[in-house]
Amino acid sequence: MKRQVGAVLLGAVVIRSFLSGSVLARANSGAPVTASTKISEASIMSERKPSPVHRSVQTASGRISYTEQGTGPVALFVHGVLLNGHLWRHQLEDLSDIRRCIAVDLLAHGDTEIAPDQDVSVTANAKMLKEFLNALHIDQVDLVGNDSGGGIAQIFAALYPESVRSLTLTDCDTHDNWPPEAFKPFLAMAAAGGLRGTMETMLSDKNVYRSPQALGPAYEHPDQLSDDSIEKYLRPLVSTEQRTLDLQRFLAAFDNKHTLAIEAKLKTLQAPTLIVWGTNDVYFDVKWSRWLAENIPGTLRRVELQGARIFFPEERSQDFNKELRTHWQAAQKAAGQAAR
């Protein structure tokens, strides 16, 4: 995903060394929906809150997997590359008292099922989100994105502004910084055929995932990331050869032409927007948060989380969830004033 990962993984020789070494919706929707309940530890401790439910719904882009929790206006959470809806578990748990929180699995990620030859680019993912909402008869959402999911959220908001009640962007691909320079070595590694072996190594030894040479730099405290979370993120990506190939196609489609194509529309976006950025992100410099704030006219607030890194929705969930609550209230107030 980034410089530290790519430096270790790029090239066939490095790949072999790495692999051999020790471091290596509602049910009332008209669309067919299947569901299974997964009760979190926090849910057991708080019986008053609804439990998260794992569902899937058929769309033109495939059978899209998602987890939802809570009732009320819909908040849609969009993860980035290599992850899935599990990233947002703390948001679903903590904010389900005020929102119907939905964490979707993108194309080529999580449990979402797709065709082996379909478009899985970031723009295709943005269009999938629209199909997904249509299938669940959802008109508007509070949209939240992280990493490449934040880039997808920008594209969605630019293409379908009427569907965005509010927008929240965290550390993410922006403007012509897609893919970032630091991510290009990882893309080269994947193109060279090292993707599956690398992920299998990280699964067999979870400390490889947490290491400074791999995804450790994405976290303030990588040692606190559980084995279970690593399994939830990576296991679906190696469940079959085709799933790994789908991810490889997703990576190969990274191109800033997608964000540049919607820049003019982004600069007219009036949706109330919150930008929250970690100041210690080794992948996305805080300058990109300023770029977004300056170019999205609907921006209400830009927040810097001191010392936070890219996956702070997991590590700084209380701080982030507080910002989301405040933002959604401000957006609702702004909408009420505009309606007068």
Residues facing residue 76 across a β-bridge: 102, 143
Q: What is the pLDDT of residues 188-206, one digit of tens each?
A: 889 999 999 999 999 999 9
CA distances from 163 to 73, 88, 101, 273 (A): 12, 21, 16, 14
Q: Which CATH class is domain 3-339?
A: alpha beta
- Domain range summary for the chain, segments of one domain joined by +: 3-339
Q: What is the pLDDT of residues 149-194, one digit of tens each?
A: 999 999 999 999 999 999 999 999 999 998 887 777 788 889 999 9
Per-residue tokens: 336? 């009420």
Q: What is the pLDDT of residues 295-309, one digit of tens each?
A: 999 999 999 999 999
CA distances from 261 to 44, 141, 154, 176, 264 (A): 46, 23, 11, 10, 8
Q: What is the pLDDT of residues 245-254, one digit of tens each?
A: 999 999 999 9
Residues facing residue 145 across a β-bridge: 78, 169
Residue 210 has pLDDT above 80, yes or no: yes
Q: What percentage of the chain reaches a pLDDT higher than 70?
A: 85
